[in-house]
Amino acid sequence: MEGGPESSAGPGPSHLAGGEDRGVRGRPQWLRVARALRSPLTQGRRISEGFAMLATLATLARVAALRRTGLLSRRGGGWGLWTGRPQSDTDNMKPLEGVRILDLTRVLAGPFATMNLGDLGAEVIKVERPGAGDDTRTWGPPFVGTESTYFLSVNRNKKSIAVNIKDPKGVKIIKELAAVCDVFVENYVPGKLSAMGLGYEDIDMVAPHMVYCSITGYGQTGPLSQRAGYDAVASAISGLMHITGPEVACLTHVAVNYLIGQEEARRWGTAHGSIVPYQAFKTKDGYLVVGAGNNQQFATVCKILNLPELIDDSKYRTNHLRVQNRKELIKILSTRFEEEMTSKWLQLFEGSGVPYGPINNMKNVFAEPQVLHNGLVMEMKHPTVGKISVPGPAVRYSELKMSEASPPPLLGQHTTHILKEVLRYDDRAITELLSAGVVTQHEVE
């Protein structure tokens, strides 16, 4: 689709190249709506769907009105890529500036994704149910004031609108928001949002430009697809849990393995299957991970441990031999490691060229000079809790700096703001919705 953002008139989203509002399969929106009305599926559900259609048409009309106000105009700057407008100056333009994300996810995977997108400049509108909001708000202790640290850890840089999506008026709000957003992310069990009128087909009808991302436990279809996704269960079924844990003494299977050709996956504790030594050793006051990837490194390790006799021992001369005589060798090394404190070993191993590192608890992690140097502790000011620290973004870019983040929102902190600024509702309409309980607003804005 060549041509700039304004290359043809029409009511479609002006950000689409070509201007006219073309749906996923390239047909104009009005035609798709008309066809949907005619389709057998719709005929079968005609009465209830009739109301839904009216609501959709109302939404479309509203969106057209929004466009006429110039809210979605892409004239004068911008790239015609997104629905939103870049928030900051071009000196520190971020990749996703101007991208607006409608975030219906809860708990961890979804919020973690949208948080990372927010770090790159996207505007994230977090939709929560009035009353409880995202489940993790209550996942504690620990709490700081009213906020659970769990919630605080993955929800920075987002605005919270509290909307009851079981209410058709709430669904209407979501659809209007969708029309002016670029991305829709959700993590409902497949089918649940469709039943509420917010499935991909529904959103596609009002916002054919939408990048609709569905995060589920197992996928959209298939035998497990109706199960809610729990990390522990998914990690068990997908094999991660099986291969994590202390060493098991014997293999439980002799069956041929698919992926690695010879043996079933097993647990190795901290050890490596085919490099010895390469694992954690207990010290007097903790644990130290040490690896010897070749004979030279092994010799260095032996020298540091003051066990030079091991270097020329025929049982340990090559990695292959060390693997074969693993138990005996590890026993000798372990005994020696336990004789000193971790800090002593860290001194002795410094500059040796051997890979090594302590098993850090959280306190040690956030005291590591390199962690501080990398700026991995991000501070921000929370409206009720005060100053909080969370792990910051993992990646740095030369052409942009990670700006100060806005804190995780209180439940419904931005409801009014969003209805007013994004959807241009007037005060009367907002008051009605608040009274009806369709939306709620936090006392703190």
Establish if 304 lies at the interface with a copy of itself (CB under 8 A): no
Looking at residue 331, its amino acid is: K
Q: Is 38 in the site for a copy of itself (CB under 8 A)?
A: no
Q: Could you identify the residue written with the tokens 């927010």?
A: 118
| Segment near a copy of itself (CB under 8 A); pick from 40-48, 63-71, 390-398, 425-433 | 390-398
Give the residue, chosen from 62, 94, 106, 442, that forms a contact with a copy of itself under the rule CB under 8 A. 94
β-bridge mates for residue 358, sequence order: 288
Q: Is the bond preceding residue 141 a cis peptide, omega within 30 degrees?
A: yes
Q: Among all chains, which residue has been given the structure tokens 């009808």? A: 205
Considering only 49, 73, 112, 189, the residue that binds a copy of itself (CB under 8 A) is 112
Q: How far is the CB of 91 from a copy of itself (least distance, A)?
A: 11
Candidate list 43, 92, 146, 244; residue touching a copy of itself; CB under 8 A:
244
The mark string for 247-266 relative to a copy of itself (x by CB under 8 A, - otherwise) is: -----xxxxxxxxxxxxxx-
Q: How far is the CB of 288 from a copy of itself (least distance, A)?
A: 8
Closest CA to 342 of 271, 281, 305, 288: 288
Contact at 8 Å (CB) between 186 and 110?
yes
Six-digit token pair at 60?
């479309």
Among 102, 177, 305, 390, binds a copy of itself (CB under 8 A): 390
Q: Which of residues 11-30 bind a copy of itself (CB under 8 A)?
A: 24
**Which residue from 40, 373, 426, 443 is in contact with a copy of itself, where contact means CB under 8 A?**
373
Rounded CA separation 206/21 (Å): 10
With CB under 8 A, what is the number of residues at the site for a copy of itself?
Answer: 109
Q: Is 315 exposed, middle or buried (0-12, 13-18, 19+ CB in 10 A)?
A: exposed
Bridge pairing between strands 158-163 and 439-440? antiparallel
Determine, following the binding rule CB under 8 A, whether residue 243 of this chain makes contact with a copy of itself.
yes
Q: Does 424 bind a copy of itself (CB under 8 A)?
A: no
Per the listing, tokens 């708000």 go with 137
- Answer for which of 50, 70, 308, 391 binds a copy of itself (CB under 8 A) is 391
- Going by DSSP bridges, is the β-strand pair 100-104/123-128 parallel, antiparallel, or unpaired? parallel
Considering only the stretches 40-48, 177-185, 366-374, 433-441, report the one whose residues sit in contact with a copy of itself under the rule CB under 8 A. Answer: 366-374
Give the contacts of 421 (CB within 8 A, at least 6 positions apart).
none
Least separation in angstroms between CB 290 and a copy of itself: 8
Beta strands in 5-148 (DSSP E): 100-104, 123-128, 143-144, 147-148
- The reply to whether 190 sits near a copy of itself by the rule CB under 8 A is no
Q: Is 389 in the site for a copy of itself (CB under 8 A)?
A: yes
Asked whether position 144 contacts a copy of itself by CB under 8 A, the answer is yes
10 Å Cβ neighbour count for 235? 13
Stretch that binds a copy of itself, among 54-62, 112-120, 301-309, 418-426 (CB under 8 A): 112-120
* Count of C-beta atoms within a 10 Å radius of residue 131: 11
Closer to a copy of itself by CB, 288 or 439: give it: 288
Site string for a copy of itself, 263-292 (x = CB under 8 A): xxx-xxxx-x-x---xxx-x----x-x-x-
402 binds a copy of itself per the rule CB under 8 A: no
Site for a copy of itself in 196-215 (CB under 8 A): 200
As given in the structure block, the two tokens for residue 179 are 């029309």
**CB-CB contact of 438 with 170 (8 Å):** yes
